[in-house]
Amino acid sequence: MLETVEQETGASPEWAVIWLHGLGADGHDFAPIVPELVRAPWPAIRFVFPHAPKRPVSINNGMPMRAWYDIVSMDFRSRADAKGVAESVQQVEELIAREQARGIPSQRIVLAGFSQGGAITLSVGLQRREPLAGLVALSSYLPEVDAAATQLVAGATAQPIFMAHGNADPVIPVQIAEHSAQVLGELGFNLQWQRYPMAHQVCGEEIHALGDWLQARFQQA
C-alpha cells in the first residue's frame, strides 16, 4: 500500500478524493489546495494524497525520483512505460479498495491527478468496471491513447471527467491533452474540457471551475 497524506474536512467523511501528484513531487504537493477548493455546504470529504514510488526516470538521465511511470520517449504516443502505468493503476486500485473498506462506496470516490498523476487517473478510469464518482485530469493526457478503445471496459463511461490545461504548457502541449479529451469524448465519456492562459500549473479560475464540477457530483449523489 502506498504511503499517503490525508486531510478530512469533517467527522465521518462521506466522500473521498484520491489525488495523484506529478513527476518528482510527492503527496504533500497538492494538500494546500484543500482549503482553496472546499466549500462550506459540501459533505465531509477525506482527501488522500499518495506518494508515488521512487524509480529511475529515463529522460532525466535515469535519476531516481517519485514517478508513477518511467518516461522513455519524447513521443507522447509511446513515452509512458506501459509496465509502470499498469503497476500504478494497481496501486491506485488498492487505495480505492481501502476507501471502500472504510465505508465509502465507489460512487462517492473521486480520482484526481496532475500531469503524470492525471495520466494514471485516466488509465484507471478506462479500466473501472465499478464506476467512480468522477475523474479529474489537470495538465495531463491519456497514455497509449491509440489503444484507448481496446482498454475501455463496460460501464467505465458512466464516470464523468473534468480535464483542464494551460494554453502555454511547455511540458505537455495543449494539443496533446485536447486530443486525449477528444478521444475520451468519442468513446462516450461525459467530459468537461477547460483551457487557461497558463503553463504547466494550476490557477485560481481552474480551481473554481473544478469546485463547480465537484459540487455537481455531490448534488447528483
Active site residues: 115, 169, 200
- Distance from C-alpha of 186 to C-alpha of 149, rounded to nearest angstrom: 10
Instruction: Find the helix packing angle between 116-126 and 82-101, rounded to 10°.
Output: 70
Residue 88: all three cell numbers together: 500504478
Residue 100: all three cell numbers together: 471502500
Contacting residues for 20 by C-beta, under 8 A, at least 6 apart = 50, 52, 68, 92, 111, 112, 113, 114, 116, 117, 118, 120, 121
Q: Is 133 within 8 Å of 221 (Cβ atoms)?
A: yes
- Distance from C-alpha of 163 to C-alpha of 118, rounded to nearest angstrom: 9
Residue 151: all three cell numbers together: 482498454
Residue 43: all three cell numbers together: 459533505
